Amino acid sequence: MIGFCQSLLAQWVYFPIESEQAYKVYKSQWDGFSNSPYDAAQNRFVRLGPNSNTKSFEIEVLAKKRSKLFYHQPDQFYYLTDSSNDWQMVVNPVFHFSGGKQANQTLYRNTRGAEIYGQIGGEKGVGFYSLFTENQERYPEAYLFAKDSMNYVPNEWFYKNYQKQGAVDFFQARAYVTFSTAKNYIKMQFGHDKHKIGNGYRSLILSDFAPQYLFFKVNTDVKRFHYQNLFTQFIDRGMVQGNTLYPKKFGAFHRLSFDIRRNLQIGVNEMILFDRSDSSMRSQFDLNYLNPVIFYRAIESSMGSKDNSLMALDAQWTIRNRYQVYGQMLIDEFKLDYIKDQPNWWANKYAYQIGARAFNLAKIQHLDVLLEYNRVRPYTYSHGIPSQSYSHFNQPLAHPLGSNFAETVAQVKYQYKRWGIQWTGTYAKMGRDSFLNGRNYGTNILRSYDDKRVSDFSSTMYMGKLTKLMVNDVVISYQPTQHVSFDFRVNSRQNNGIQTFWYSFGLRINTALRQFNY
């Protein structure tokens, strides 16, 4: 018997953007939840927050009132509250155990941890979320290049070598608090996590590829206007080693979007990356960039600085509550006169994305399809001062391929009762530097664009070592209960005709699959 609906997360807890909860809530816009918000399969009510298009998903769960501590809801292992329901807390275990083979190489992942979230102080209180895991992992051979040559483990922070043959050991910690002001018109969030702007499989503005970072975010929603400020602290490029204070750099992002119609939205983005050093060579945040309203480019120009400044447009159009067309256009640097007269000038640095989604395709429940195209000009995201490249901990803040490429992505997801299948295919054509320190063809965004640049007026797409990359990834999953999955995965990767293949079996609890798609 249902007693009454109780707000479990009064202060908008943001689930990790790659998590199963996030995708389900995002998809709920096209599942009819807005008309009938009760999800019988999950035995709970789900409400979508107002910030969906940035994919910093916000959900509010309205749970049945129960006295059970364990499995208060199917996705809540341990639930705790007081008699007045003035505070609630949920604790979930996090596990991912998998093993597989690539030729004679054994692959595995061993992840253990916990997820804790809830709220304190009722509807006007503070929400919180934390996720921490201990991990040992052996990657497929193709992805060891990042660790061996670029000094990073994809998507992660500091790591240590573990045993032999490319295995690594790393710790992951993500946590933040959320709170509201001005009658819920302004929502704030502070902590360590990653963010994504856009509706696509990829993002050319800000993606979730790089590891988590320190941030402070402010979302302001007034009728049809949505304004977001994001202030961040990143880590500069360099060798990964222990007992070292890594050099810091900072980011200031803002996004203003407007709902032209209920199903049509357009956004304007401005992003600045910068570093500052005092006499002790410790990086300092430039307080001028804390201004939440003024265009950052105006501040940058008035200070005479050479910070890395980028601008972008994004848009989404929802059709019949079932289809979505979206896109992004990013401008790093260009001269208007040269666009027509010198289109291959090296500093015509821009990128664009166009994509479409279909939810419940052909009225088949839980059949979701995506098709997307991304194109990035050479030298985009790089900077004359390498420490100000559009990166964090040696990893791109946008697309994992960097720049100087074009890519097509296709994805099909289908779920039938407890079974699910997902196929993701990517095809990319790109130009590469022959050597990491050789001639600079504009692919590696960590390099200065003044470092051995090959040409000023003949910078064409795919210049350098032409590379064609095709990746197919298939995952078949069985869910005996919510947020518990048994997976069988097959991945094939073809790089200029050289094909590699691997497979794995695994068990996941409250965690997402790692992506191998670049």
State the pLDDT at residue 38.
Answer: 30
Interatomic CA distance for residues 21 and 483, integer angstroms: 9
Burial class (CB in 10 A: 0-12, 13-18, 19+), 32: exposed
Please tell me whether residue 345 adopts helix, strand or coil conformation: coil
- CA 115 to chain CA mean position, Å: 19
DSSP letter assigned to residue 203: -
Interatomic CA distance for residues 125 and 106, integer angstroms: 48
The runs of H, that is alpha helices, within 346-441 are none
Is the pTM higher than 0.75? The answer reads yes
DSSP letter string over 433-496?
Answer: -SSTTS-B-S--TTS-TTSSB--SS---TT-SEEEEEEEEEEEEEEEEETTEEEEEEEEEEEET
State the pLDDT at residue 14.
Answer: 55
State the pLDDT at residue 299.
Answer: 55
Beta-carbon contacts of 460 under 8 Å, excluding residues fewer than 6 positions away, are 344, 378
Determine the Cα angle at 113 with ends 107 and 119, to 5°. 145
Quick check: 508 and 485 in contact, CB under 8 A? yes
State the pLDDT at residue 488.
Answer: 98
Find the radius of gyration of the CA atoms of the chain: 23
State the pLDDT at residue 262.
Answer: 87
3-state helix, strand, coil in the chain (%, to 5): 10, 50, 40
State the pLDDT at residue 404.
Answer: 96
Residue 499, both tokens: 């094909």
pLDDT tens, N- to C-terminus, the chain (518 residues): 233 233 333 344 556 666 666 666 666 655 443 333 333 333 333 333 333 333 333 334 434 444 466 776 777 888 888 777 788 888 999 999 999 999 888 999 999 999 998 888 876 788 899 999 999 999 898 887 776 666 778 888 888 887 767 788 999 999 999 888 877 788 899 999 999 999 899 999 999 999 999 999 998 989 899 999 999 999 886 665 555 677 889 999 999 999 999 889 999 999 999 887 654 445 677 667 777 765 655 555 545 457 888 999 999 999 988 899 999 999 998 777 777 788 889 989 999 999 999 998 988 988 999 999 999 999 999 998 888 899 999 899 999 999 999 999 999 999 998 999 999 999 999 999 877 678 899 999 999 999 889 988 889 999 999 999 999 999 999 999 878 999 999 999 999 989 999 999 999 999 989 899 98
Residue 311, Ramachandran bin (φ over 0: left; ψ between -120 and 50: alpha; else beta): beta
Residue 298, both tokens: 């105006």
Interatomic CA distance for residues 436 and 20, integer angstroms: 37
Give the phi and the psi of residue 113 in degrees, each rounded to 5: 180, -160
Determine the Cα angle at 371 with ends 478 and 503, to 5°. 40
Quick check: 373 and 353 in contact, CB under 8 A? yes
**Tokens 């573990």 map to which residue?**
162
Hey, what domains does the chain have and what are their CATH numbers? 5-509 (2.40.160.10)
State the pLDDT at residue 274.
Answer: 86
State the pLDDT at residue 79.
Answer: 86
To the nearest 10°, the Cα dihedral for 338, 340, 341, 343? 70
Buried b (16+ CB within 10 A) or exposed e, 239-276: ebeeeeebbbbbbbbbbebeeeeeeebebebbbbbbbe
